[in-house]
Every structure is written in structure tokens, then in C-alpha cells.
Structure 1
Amino acid sequence: MSANLIGLLMEATWQTLYMVAVSAVLGAAFGLPLGVFLATSQRGELLSRPLVNRVLGLVVNAARSVPFIILVVAIIPFTRMIAGTSIGTTAAIVPLTIAAVPFIARLIENAIREVDSGLIEAARAMGATPLQIIRKVLIPEALPSITLGLTLAAVSLIGYSAMVGAVGGEGLGDLGIRYGYQRFMPDVMAVVVIILIVLVQLVQSIGEWIAAKVDKRAPKGRGQ
């Protein structure tokens, strides 16, 4: 493999990391509060807003039901309005973020719902407000599950980032298509696949390590 191709692989890897990192942060910024609201806004819950809950739930389900490759094409005008272009790394962040938000929201909702309801009742009995319960009980207790959920979202975004290469996005997917497929260079395709696998394993391992660190229920070692 030539030095030029090695340089292209390094650049494509950086582009993929940039797309995934930015879209994951933006997706979490919007998806986390949305997921918390969905988990606490049904009738009789902390932030009881059943009508708003149902409407948001329908929107989230609709967004999640659209295949990603179709979503990328369907929102090209919106992507062009936000990023100024519909191709390239920065443009790819728009559909990646839109795909990440409902996915993360559902993961956060499930994580919050796993918290023991007895803890909520105990906090209520002590006079805590709904926001205090969310901030000091629900989120801390659900933090390990939230961390694993965000890790799953980041892993999914790595796969999505490869798909945008088929529609003008940059990164490893674009390199694999242009060189590995269109120019019949199977060695490039193999290296791209290997790098993607390594990235997924690395993100998954880091996420699991962080989740174990923040899990208060995890058994401590002897002598600690």
C-alpha cells in the first residue's frame, strides 16, 4: 500500500472520528433531556404531561422508523440550509445527529425507567421536588445504564458514518467505496473494515469501563 493511500486512510479515520464525536455530543445534548422527559411525563409521574408525552413519543418513533440512508437523502435541503452544503464531513453531521437524537432518547428513557420506584417514593416523602428527584435520584441511579446506552449510540454512529460515504459524506465509508469498490482495491476495503472494527471495539471497551466506574452497585474489591 502506497504512502498516499496510508495518508488517505489516516485522513478518513480522522474525518470519521470527527463526525461521530460531534454528532454523539449533539445527539446526547438533545436526546438526554428528551429521554428524561419521556420517562417522567406520563400520567401520574413526576412531570405529568400525558398529551405532550404521547406527541413526542410519536415523533420519536416516526424518526426512528426511517432507514438512515433514506433519512440522509430526504433531509438534503435541511442539511444544505444548516451546513451550507449537502456533501462533506460537516454536512454529514446533520443527518447523523438527527438519527442519534431519537435513538438516544429511547435509550435514556429505558435507563430511567429501570430505577427502583421505591427510591422515587422515598425522595417524595422527604419533600424533594420533581426536578430534584430527577437530578439527584433518577440520573445518578441510572448513570451506568445511561453510559452503556450512549456507548451503544456511539457504536451505531460509527456504522452510520460509513453509510454517508455512499451519498457524498467523507470518512472511511467514502474511502472504502471510492477505492475499495469503484477502483477494485480489496486491500483498501479490508483495511477500512479493520479500522472500523477497531474503533467499535475501542468505543465499546471505554464505555463499559466508564459504566463500571460509575456503577455504585458494583462489588468492591477486598480490602477497599
Structure 2
Amino acid sequence: MSPYQLDQLYCSTWQTIEMTVACGIVTLLGGLPIALFIVLTSPDGLCPAPLINRFVSVIINIFRSVPFIILLVALIPVTRFLVGSAIGTEAAIVPLSIATIPYFTRIAEVSLREVDQGLIEAVKAMGGGRLTIIKEVLLPEALPGLISGFTVTIILIIGISAMAGTIGAGGLGHYAIQYGYQQFRSDIMTIVIVLLVIMISAIQWCGDTLSKRFNHR
């Protein structure tokens, strides 16, 4: 591997990290509130609103149903409007986030619904309001599941960011295609795979550790 290729590998690795971190933050800030909204407005929730709940759920299901590669192409006008370009690392963050927010929303929704209803009723009986229930019961009790779900989402982001790299988004996916696949360099492909395995294993370990730490049951 030439010094230039090593330099490009370093840059591509940081591009993947940049996409993952930025998309992870956007996904968390977007997906968790939507999941809370869906749980709270469900027929048996704290603020029942069946029509709005159904509408939001349908939108989430629509975006979850679209394959990422199709979503990537379909969102080119939106990406170009928001970022000024449809190519590059920053541009990839837009479709990545739109693809992963619905995914994390459903995972977070499941974790929130698994909270013991008895605890919620106990807080209600003591005069606790909706905000108190959210802050003192829903989020703390669901936290281990939310951490595990977010860990899985981050790993998904790494995988689809590599897919985005095949159409010029940068990162390790683009590097593997340009210097490995197109030049028939199996050694480069192997290095990229090893790097991705290391990144994913490290993230999974961190997620599992945090989840166990906050699991007070």
C-alpha cells in the first residue's frame, strides 16, 4: 500500500467516524422525541390522540419501508437544498439521518412501552404529572433498552454509510470501492473489513457496558 493510499485510508476512516457521530446525534435528537410522542399519544397513553398517533406511525412506517439506496437517490434534491451538494460526507448525513430516525424511533418505542405500568400508576397516585412520569419513570426505566437500541442504530449507520460511500459520500465504503474493488486489491478490502469490525465491536462493547451499568432491575 502506497503512502498516498495510507493517507486516504486515514481520511476515509475519519469521514466514516464523522458521518456516524453526526448522524447518531441527529438520530437520537429526532428519534427519541418521536418515540415518546407515539407512546404518549397512543390509545392507552398519557395523552391519547389516536388520529395524530396513527398519522405519525404511518409516516414512520413509510420511511422505514424504503430501501436506503432508493432513499439516498430520492433525497438528492433535499440534500442539495440543505447542504448545497449531493456528494460528500456532509451531504451523506442528510439521507443517513432520515433513514435511521424511523428505525431508532421504533426501537425506542418498544423500550418505552416495556416500562412497568404499575410504576406509572404509582406516580399518578402520588399526584405526579405527565412531565414527572416522563422524567422519573419512562426515561430512567427504559434507559438500558434505549442504550442497547441506540447501539444497534449506530452499528446500522456504519453499515449504510459504507453503502453511501459507493456513490461518492466518502468514508471507508468509498475507499474500499475505489482502491480495493476497482483495482482488484484484496488486501485493501481486507484492511477495510478489519477496520469496520474493530469499530463495530468497540461500539457494541461500549453499548453493552453502559446498558448493564444503568440496568438497575
TM-score (norm 1): 0.95
1:129-188 deviation per Cα after TM superposition (whole angstroms, max 9, x unaligned): 112101110100000000000000000000010000111110000000111111211111
1:104-115 to 2 correspondence within 5 Å?
A: 104-115=104-115
Question: For residues 85 and 135 of structure 2, what CA distance do their matches in structure 1 show?
Answer: 39
The whole-number CA distance in structure 2 between the counterparts of 1:180 and 1:190 is 9
- In structure 2, the residue corresponding to 1:27 is in which secondary structure? helix
Alignment partners' CA distance in 2, 1:167 and 1:59? 27
Counterpart of 2:202 in structure 1 is: 202
Unaligned runs of 5+ in 2: none
Identity of aligned residues (%): 43
Alignment gaps of 5+ in structure 1 = 218-224
> CA-to-partner distance for each residue in 1:78-100, whole Å, 9 max, x for gaps?
00001100000000000111011
- Please give the residue correspondences for 1:43-122 in structure 2 after superposition, counting only pairs within 5 Å: 43-122=43-122
- Spell out structure 1 runs of 4+ moving beyond 6 A: none
How far does residue 42 in structure 1 lie from its aligned partner after superposition?
1.0
Provide the TM-score with structure 2 as the length reference. 0.98
Query: Within 1, Cα distance between the matches of 2:47 and 2:133?
Result: 11
**1: distance between equivalents of 2:32 and 2:76?**
26
92-101 or 40-49, larger mean C-alpha shift:
40-49
Distance 1:45 1:164 in 2: 38
Q: Secondary structure at the match of 2:26?
A: helix
State the Cα distance separating 1:194 from its structure 2 match.
0.9
SS in 2 for 1:115: coil
What is the RMSD computed on CA atoms of the aligned residues? 0.8
**Number of residue-to-residue matches in the alignment:** 217
